[in-house]
Amino acid sequence: MATKLEVATASAALSNEEVLRYSRHLIMPEVGMDGQLKLKQASVLCIGTGGLGAPLGLYLAAAGVGRIGLVDFDKVDLTNLQRQILFSSSDVGRPKIEAASTRLRGLNPDIQIDQHETRLTSENALDLFRDYDIIVDGTDNFPTRYLVNDACVLLGKPNVYGSIFRFEGQVSIFGYPSGPCYRCLYPEPPPPGLVPSCAEGGVLGVLPGIVGALQAAEAIKLILGKGEPLVGRLLLFDALAMRFRELKLRKNPECPACGDHPTVTKLLDYLEFCGIRGEEAPAPQTSVPEITPRELKTRLDRGDDLFILDVREPHEYQICNLGGHLIPLGDLPKRVSELDSSREIIAHCRSGKRSAEATQFLQKAGFRKVLNLKGGILAWSDEVDPAVPKY
């Protein structure tokens, strides 16, 4: 229990204005002056200032976490604004880290914001993490998630983990003393070819808001040392069903990172570990016959008999289309009879990846005259008709 003297000394650390600012915390016994001072003395590193990082940063700053580190290297993009509530329309094109810092400093001028405008790598992770009490993982890719996990385990720092897909989220705390780590849950990442394709991408804008706020709550609880931290439990959230479920997580004695005989004793090359070279999974190296948007335009204008096959999903067709016949890639095998093999078929999707698969499939099925629209409807918009919206 705190002695009277300690409390008196400690209370001197909040200005009168801060007392007023945090009064709704201070009057709550679970936080109180002690807790508010713990928050003020705490440091949290947020990896990523995107969908998860936005509510996280805002709530940590509002709560008075004394030092918040931000790691990001991206620029604000118009497509970010659907969910990344740290940013305004006027921030488009600005470095995220700059826009985020301005916003957080505006919210709470009494705290320190550290800007780390860099990509998190195996070379810089340990040095960056060392300086903070808690690491919060709000990244968007497997290599960085394994990197964050391993660095946290090596340094013995808690990792408040959150991850989202479409309308489903996962939250847990890894790297807590005696608790499991991310590798206990998933020893290895999925190979690039098996992760869901672009057709199933996207995210409900409010989902990262909920998951990021859950991460903020866990980070704040860790700092306060109150309540039951989400350690050894995986929280699953389904926004569509509006249902939370909780699964048990155990520390795996055979875990390569935190088990009894760890083999991960230093940081690795995580792109290699995840089977990815370069920033994203490379497109499958298959050569299918292609047609460029300009060539297609010329041939259509000439009146050539071309059958446009759109292999995207119906909801994508609603956004924009080239008037093609819609058969989603996944339905192609069972709907192939709708196609006339005597006609020349131009397959297209959004970027040309799915339609390359469709072209290959049709070739194997005996279609001789199939061409893939190079670059998809995105390239069509760039090169032929800017009136077609990009998404």
Residues that bind other proteins (CB under 8 A): 48, 50-53, 74, 79-80, 83-84, 137-142, 145, 162-168, 170, 185-190, 194-203, 208, 234, 236, 238, 241, 245-250, 252, 280, 330, 350-351, 353
Identity of the amino acid at 91: D
CA-based nearest residue to 62, from 97, 109, 132:
109
121 vs 351, which CB is nearer to other proteins? 351
**Beta-sheet strands, E only, within 120-270:** 134-137, 159-165, 168-174, 233-238, 243-248
Identity of the amino acid at 369: K
Q: How far is the CB of 271 from other proteins (least distance, A)?
A: 13
Query: How far is Cα 265 from Cα 132, in angstroms, rounded to an integer?
Result: 21
Q: How far is the CB of 297 from other proteins (least distance, A)?
A: 23
Query: Of 46, 184, 198, 274, which one is the catalytic site residue?
Result: 198
Cβ count within 10 A of residue 80: 21
Q: How far is the CB of 222 from other proteins (least distance, A)?
A: 19
Q: How far is the CB of 43 from other proteins (least distance, A)?
A: 21
Q: Where are the alpha helices (DSSP H) in the chain?
A: 4-11, 16-21, 23-26, 32-41, 53-63, 96-107, 125-130, 142-155, 182-185, 206-224, 270-273, 293-301, 314-319, 332-335, 353-364, 376-383
31 vs 271, which CB is nearer to other proteins? 271
Active site residue 184: no
Query: Of 181, 258, 274, 349, which one is the catalytic site residue?
Result: 349
CA-based nearest residue to 77, from 45, 106, 114, 49:
49
Identity of the amino acid at 29: P
50 vs 64, which CB is nearer to other proteins? 50
Token pair listed for 141: 């890719």
11 vs 197, which CB is nearer to other proteins? 197
Taking CA 120 as the corner, what is the angle to CA 279 and CA 283, rounded to the nearest 5 degrees? 10
Active site residue 46: no
131 vs 246, which CB is nearer to other proteins? 246
Q: How far is the CB of 354 from other proteins (least distance, A)?
A: 8
3-class SS of residue 345: strand
Which residues are designated catalytic? 198, 349
